[in-house]
Amino acid sequence: MMQITLLQSSDLAVCSRAIRVCWQSQDKSDNGGERDRELIDRVGNKNKHASTLEHLFYTFYIQGVSRACLQELARHRIASLSVKSTRYTLKELKGEAPFETFDDRAAKYLVATGAEAVDRASLAALENLRRLLTQGIANDRAKYALPESYKTELAWSANARSLQNFLRLRTSRSALWEIRDLALAIFDALPEDHKYIFAPHIEPESAGA
Ligand SMILES: Cc1cc2nc3c(=O)[nH]c(=O)nc-3n(C[C@H](O)[C@H](O)[C@H](O)COP(=O)(O)OP(=O)(O)OC[C@H]3O[C@@H](n4cnc5c(N)ncnc54)[C@H](O)[C@@H]3O)c2cc1C
């Protein structure tokens, strides 16, 4: 099960303050209240002066996604990533007993797809990897035998403009199921009073897909 934790987010007033610099209307601010929230939506979303949304910044701690999902997430260039390194952490497998079934112990390392034959193949790859490591093969070489289902974690930061783009593309029904789950979980993790900026970018029917 993936887990998303919001590590930090900007105050909405940072964005409204930046917008008000353009019109020199700082005296009309209500310090991030209803008037400022409406201003952000009108200027940043409706008037498409979207660069103002770049002042809002978010950092998430994402755990339990596959490296297949990471590969797609990493395509979003307007974001910052710090990813768990397999080069340094593969030794976590060395102390494990052989993997024989897709139990909770295997699920600590692998994302299950629900397709039994695929999950069996992932489990075999995990066991192969464990054996390579116990034979003394270095992480730098053994990592080339990693299955795409291998779980990873990362810190991921993006500004609101880029996050809108990410949510629009990745909550779409045409997106990979796992990154769609991730996009919806990221939306859920946002501060409640920020969600109105992003809600129009969520594909509604994707929640049940
Ligand atoms: C359903 C789906 C299927 C996909 N299939 C494939 C596939 O088969 N193969 C594949 O390689 N990728 C595929 N992708 C990935 C896709 O091509 C993008 O790389 C990815 O979605 C990141 O989107 P982005 O470039 O908008 O995001 P970001 O990289 O975060 O960029 C954000 C925005 O900044 C602007 N921008 C960023 N860089 C540039 C630039 N160099 N020049 C001009 N403007 C820029 C653009 O407006 C862009 O939308 C797929 C994506 C989706 C959603």
Verify that 136 and 174 share a domain, yes or no.
no
One digit per residue, the tens of pLDDT, for the chain of length 209 reads 899 999 999 999 999 999 999 989 999 999 889 999 999 999 999 999 999 999 999 999 999 999 999 999 999 999 999 999 999 999 999 999 999 999 999 999 999 999 999 999 999 999 999 999 999 999 999 999 999 999 999 999 999 999 999 999 999 999 999 999 999 999 999 999 999 999 999 997 644 43
CB burial string 9-28: b at 16+ within 10 A, e below: beebbebbbbbbeeeeeeee
Strand pairing partners for 154? Answer: 62, 83
Residue with tokens 């390194």: 85
Mark whether 67 is an active-site residue: no
Q: Which helix (H) or strand (E) holds 35?
A: helix 34-40
What is the pTM for the complete model shown? 0.95
- For a ligand 1 pocket test, name from 165, 167, 170, 186 the mutation site with the most ligand atoms within 8 angstroms of its C-beta: 165
Longest dimension (CA), the chain: 69
Verify that 108 and 168 share a domain, yes or no.
no
**15 vs 1, 23, 97, 148, CA distance in Å?**
34, 13, 52, 39
Verify that 32 and 22 share a domain, yes or no.
yes
Verify that 119 and 173 share a domain, yes or no.
no
**71 vs 19, 65, 185, 193, CA distance in Å?**
35, 10, 18, 30
Q: Confirm or reject: Cβ of 75 under 6 Å from ligand 1.
A: yes
Domain end among 106, 124, 151: 151
Domain that holds residue 157: 3-65+70-80+152-208
Going 180 to 182 to 183 to 184, the CA torsion angle's sign is positive
CATH number at residue 195: 3.30.1360.170
Report which ligand 1 atom has the smallest distance to the Cα of 76.
30
Q: Which helix (H) or strand (E) holds 197?
A: helix 195-198
Provide the domain count of the chain.
2
Q: What residue ranges in the chain does DSSP mark as E strands?
A: 3-9, 57-66, 80-83, 151-159
Domain end among 151, 178, 193: 151
Q: Confirm or reject: Cβ of 162 under 6 Å from ligand 1.
A: yes
Verify that 92 and 188 share a domain, yes or no.
no
